[in-house]
Amino acid sequence: MIWRNLVGFLATLFAGFLLTACQTTENTPPPKMFNADSMQAMSINARRLEIIDSWQMPVQDPYVGHRATPLPSNVLADWATSVLKPAGSSGELVFDIRKAAVTMEPLSVKAGLDGLFTDQQSRQVRSEIEAKIMWLQPVGGAQAMIDLRASHAITIPESATPGEVLNTIHESFQGALLRLDSKAREELSKIDRAILP
């Protein structure tokens, strides 16, 4: 009798798992890594902006930037085009993308019963951006060079779905980009006549 009840319970439990697995969930698109409307443009004392992409993105572990849409280098180029607005009559601004890396590394998790029944943080997604801004203004012979670095890391639980992992990749790069934007504004404001009123 007990055996029959146990078999019935297990069959019901197994059927429930199957029904849950068969249910389709609506995939929401990952968050945008850059939204031009959310960042104020700067009027730069230059006639033109040149964007150079010096970064060759690896497509093997631990790099996961190739999973993002659009690619991180393209996001940086969009940021530069939207934020660094040439508004002068002479001069040049160069934005050189040196690194736009997104990596995912495993984290050590607790073994044994303590770890078995908890949803541990098992991976870390880290975005790293390195860029150089060169401002060349022949009128008055002014020039400046700025090195920018920004990073942002987020951990992922063991239970994360592929969609949640992709969301984390986007959120991580978005966080690094926000830091880069803040640093670029701070450094450009220190250069005399680089930003126009």
**Ranges of the chain whose pLDDT falls below 70:** 1-27, 111-118
In sequence order, what are the beta bridge partners of 128?
Answer: 101, 151
The SS3 assignment for 67 reads helix
Which pLDDT value is given to residue 23?
43
Which pLDDT value is given to residue 24?
42
Which pLDDT value is given to residue 120?
85
Pairing relationship of beta strands 121-137 and 92-106 according to DSSP bridges = antiparallel
121: which 2 tokens? 């943080």
Instruction: Please state, in angstroms and rounded to a whole number, the distance separating the CA atoms of residues 36 and 135.
Output: 22
20-63 per-position pLDDT tens digit: 444 444 567 777 777 877 889 999 999 999 999 999 999 999 99
CB atoms within 10 A of CB 184: 21
